[in-house]
Amino acid sequence: MSTHAPAQVPDDEPVRHRRYALFVFFLVSVFNYLDRTILSILQVPVKRELGLSDAQLGMLTGLAFALFYATLSLPIARLADRTVRKVVVAVSLVAWSVMTSMTGFATSFAMLVLLRVGVAIGEAGSVPAMHSMISDLFPPERRATAISLLGLSLPVGTLFGFLLGGWLADSLGWRQAFVYIGGAGILLAPLVLLTLREPQRGRYDRVPSDLPTVRQALALLWSLKSFRLLALAGGLNGYVQIAMQAWNAPFYSRSFGLPLSEIAFWLALMNGVGGAIGLYGGGFLADHIGRRWNRGYMLVPAVGVLITAPVGMLQYLTRDVHVSLACGFVTSACVVFYFAPIISGAHQLVLPRMRALTSAMLVLVVNLMAIGLGPLITGKVSDLLAPSLGQDSLRYALASCMGVALVSALLWWRAAHHFVAERHAAIRRSEAGAAPGAGYAAAVAVETRT
């Protein structure tokens, strides 16, 4: 008789609880993106009152946030793998909400930078911990759908960030807008602490009970070709996504002369409706195809970014604004297909007590490539083309991003090639670790001997 304990199957009560937990995580993530977005809509009054330059605003909304958000997610994720994850989520929520509220009292650029870094640190702690809990609340064949539902918080949070930030600023002033929105997030923390149960780690896996060292965990991640490829593919996928989001408004203003109000309307449809369809659709398709064919978790984002490339070329090179806007809706949906599959796929390759660290590694790679490089390189290309192409320089700079999309599609396809074999190796690692007296060192050794 086998000594391996079978994976547990949840009864009706945990099924109800996991849906409730996903709803609470959705609310937390909405505040994540809301607090991240509010500075964007309040840039004008903040700049006017504090006398900031555009470069300073760019640092606040981009580089200063991205660097700390990406790098500090690693140590906080390690904490989430060691301790009670719902506490990590709640403390992170309170931290970034307090920093958001305190932004309303800032009197200088230096204070804004410090507070923005605080927001980044808080938000960096919540994402890996929530991803880890979701993987213990939902079986593998439903995880991508669950993560895609969580991902819908991005368009919802962004939408409310613009609406509430603008309304509160008009009604009460920009300082009060920061105070009230940050304060609302603090009120959500007791809901996380008091109503959520910490799920059993490895509920749907045969797993060892001890914690891997950081060296063991990183060595395992580095040994996985599919993980290295999917991380790079996701980074390039995000590069295209963020470059488009950052430069679409100036593109439609310069190339087609659309007024800002009309641009805002169309971009809200693209990123809100189109993005929501793509986020959910990518996760649903990955689960639907992946439960029958494991490579589906990698091939769904490959198809998404592969569609983005030619449609994006048409979007940016056509001289017909209606064709461009229609194509923009398609690219906004397809370019985010990767959001859920990259997390759910990666979590299938690793042991449960290193899932938060795995998500943090993805946050590090994807955000540095996407937020750090996408808008910057696209802008540099536009500057280089400006002397010869004038207003059309941005048109061709954005079109050049579609070459990056093709490279991303190729890397997703290569990741799919290795994913199935390494997924089976992950199962063997879990079985080795579940044997009496065996631990993570023995489990990882299964992979290093392969």
Phi, psi for residue 205 in degrees, rounded to 5: -135, 155
Comparing 187-196, 207-216, 296-305, the range with the smallest average pLDDT is 207-216
Higher-confidence position of 164 and 316: 316
CA dihedral (28, 32, 33, 38) positive or negative: positive
Q: Which of 107, 74, 96 minimizes the C-alpha distance to 30? A: 96
* Gap between the Cα atoms of 38 and 137, Å rounded: 31
Q: In the predicted model, is pLDDT for residue 341 greater than 50?
A: yes
* Gap between the Cα atoms of 199 and 216, Å rounded: 24
The two tokens of residue 235 are: 């980074």
Query: Which of the four pLDDT bands, split at 50, 70 and 90, describes residue 152?
Result: confident
pLDDT of residue 13: 45
Which range scores top for mean pLDDT: 6-15, 226-235, 352-361? 226-235
Higher-confidence position of 59 and 352: 352
What are the percentages of helix, strand and coil residues in the chain, rounded to 5? 85, 0, 15
pLDDT of residue 411: 97
Average pLDDT over residues 387-400: 91
Q: In the predicted model, is pLDDT for residue 412 greater than 80?
A: yes
What element of type H or E holds 3? Answer: none
Question: Which amino acid, one-letter code, is at 370?
Answer: A
Non-local (6+) Cβ contacts of 332 within 8 A are 244, 270, 271, 274, 275, 278
Instruction: Write down all domains in the chain, each with its CATH number in brackets.
Output: 8-201 (1.20.1250.20), 205-450 (1.20.1250.20)
Torsion-angle region of residue 51: left (phi > 0), alpha (psi -120 to 50) or beta?
A: left
Counting DSSP H helices and E strands in the chain, the numbers are 21, 0
Q: Name the percent of the chain lying above pLDDT 70.
A: 86
pLDDT of residue 238: 93
For tokens 């991640």, the residue is 221
Which range scores top for mean pLDDT: 57-66, 258-267, 344-353? 344-353
Q: What is the pLDDT of residues 111-124, one digit of tens each?
A: 988 898 888 888 88
pLDDT of residue 431: 57
pLDDT of residue 430: 57
Non-local (6+) Cβ contacts of 125 within 8 A are 72, 73, 76, 77, 79, 80, 88, 89, 91, 92, 95
205 close to 352: Cβ distance less than 8 angstroms: yes
Transcribe 197-264 into DSSP letters.
PPPPTTTTS---SSPPPHHHHHHHHHH-HHHHHHHHHHHHHHHHHHHHHHHHHHHHHHHH---HHHHH
Average pLDDT over residues 404-427: 89
pLDDT of residue 380: 83
Query: Which of the four pLDDT bands, split at 50, 70 and 90, describes residue 69?
Result: confident
Transcribe 59-103 into DSSP letters.
IIIIIHHHHHHHHTHHHHHHHHHHS-HHHHHHHHHHHHHHHHHHH
Q: In the predicted model, is pLDDT for residue 378 greater than 60?
A: yes
Q: Name the percent of the chain lying above pLDDT 90.
A: 33
Q: In the predicted model, is pLDDT for residue 426 greater than 70?
A: no
Non-local (6+) Cβ contacts of 34 within 8 A are 157, 158, 160, 161, 164, 181, 185
338 close to 282: Cβ distance less than 8 angstroms: yes
* Gap between the Cα atoms of 271 and 264, Å rounded: 10
Q: In the predicted model, is pLDDT for residue 446 greater than 80?
A: no
Non-local (6+) Cβ contacts of 162 within 8 A are 37, 40, 41
Q: In the predicted model, is pLDDT for residue 46 greater than 50?
A: yes
Q: Which of 233, 344, 231 minimizes the C-alpha distance to 284? A: 344
pLDDT of residue 207: 53
430 close to 338: Cβ distance less than 8 angstroms: no
Q: In the predicted model, is pLDDT for residue 329 greater than 60?
A: yes
The pTM of the full predicted model, rounded to 2 decimals, is 0.74
- HSE of 280 in the Cβ direction (CA atoms, 13 Å)? 10
